[in-house]
Amino acid sequence: MTDSANSDKGKKGRTKNGVTDEIHSQKDSRHLIKHVSLASPLEPARRNNEGKTVTWTDVTVKVPHAKKSLLKCFKIVRESRKIKTILSKVSGYAMAGTTLAIMGSSGTGKTVLLNALTMNVSSDVDVKGKILVNGEQLSSTDMHLISRYVHQDDLFIGTLTVREQLIYSAELQMSYNTTKADRLKRVEEVLKEVS
- Residues 100-153: pLDDT tens digits? 888 888 888 888 999 999 998 888 899 999 999 999 999 988 888 888 776 666
Q: Is 77 among the domain residues?
A: no
Same domain, 135 and 164: no
Same domain, 19 and 38: yes
- pLDDT at residue 106, as a whole number: 82
Which of 89, 92, 88, 112 lies closest to 100 in space, CA to CA? Answer: 92
pLDDT at 154 over 90: no
Mean pLDDT of the chain: 73
Q: How confident is the model at residue 180 (pLDDT cuts 50, 70, 90)?
A: very high
pLDDT at 37 over 70: no
Same domain, 119 and 174: no
Average pLDDT rounded to a whole number, residues 171-181: 88
Same domain, 25 and 121: yes
Which of 55, 63, 59, 99 lies closest to 81 in space, CA to CA? Answer: 63
Q: Is 82 among the domain residues?
A: no
Structural domain including 30 reads 3-60+89-152
d(CA 55, CA 93): 4
Q: How confident is the model at residue 36 (pLDDT cuts 50, 70, 90)?
A: very low
Count of structural domains within the chain: 2
Query: Which three-class secondary structure state does DSSP give residue 166?
Result: helix
- What percent of the chain is modeled with pLDDT above 70? 63
Q: Is 66 among the domain residues?
A: no
d(CA 34, CA 26): 7
d(CA 77, CA 68): 10
Same domain, 33 and 114: yes
Task: Please say which residue of 119, 134, 152 terminates a domain.
Answer: 152
Q: Is 76 among the domain residues?
A: no
In contact, 63 and 84? CB cutoff 8 Å: yes
Q: Is 70 among the domain residues?
A: no
Same domain, 158 and 101: no
Q: Is 79 among the domain residues?
A: no
d(CA 79, CA 65): 10
- pLDDT at residue 148, as a whole number: 75
Q: Is 12 among the domain residues?
A: yes
Q: How confident is the model at residue 44 (pLDDT cuts 50, 70, 90)?
A: very low
Q: Is 52 among the domain residues?
A: yes
Query: Over the Cα atoms of the chain, what is R_g?
Result: 21
pLDDT at 181 over 90: yes
Pick the more confident residue, 82 or 127: 127
Same domain, 125 and 161: no
**Helical segments of 52-109, H only:** none
- pLDDT at residue 193, as a whole number: 84
Same domain, 13 and 39: yes
Neighbouring-strand partners of residue 60: 128
What is the sign, positive or negative, of the torsion defined by CA atoms of 39, 45, 51, 52? positive
Neighbouring-strand partners of residue 15: 20
Report if pTM > 0.85: no
- pLDDT at residue 69, as a whole number: 57
- pLDDT at residue 32, as a whole number: 43
Same domain, 97 and 133: yes
- pLDDT at residue 117, as a whole number: 92
d(CA 4, CA 27): 14
Average pLDDT rounded to a whole number, residues 77-88: 76
Same domain, 163 and 120: no
**Helical segments of the chain, H only:** 3-6, 44-49, 110-117, 140-146, 162-173, 180-194
Same domain, 141 and 159: no
- pLDDT at residue 12, as a whole number: 43
Alpha carbon dihedral 150, 140, 66, 62, in 10-degree steps, equals 90
Residues shown for the chain: 195
Same domain, 8 and 93: yes
- pLDDT at residue 2, as a whole number: 38
What 8-state DSSP symbol labels residue 70?
G
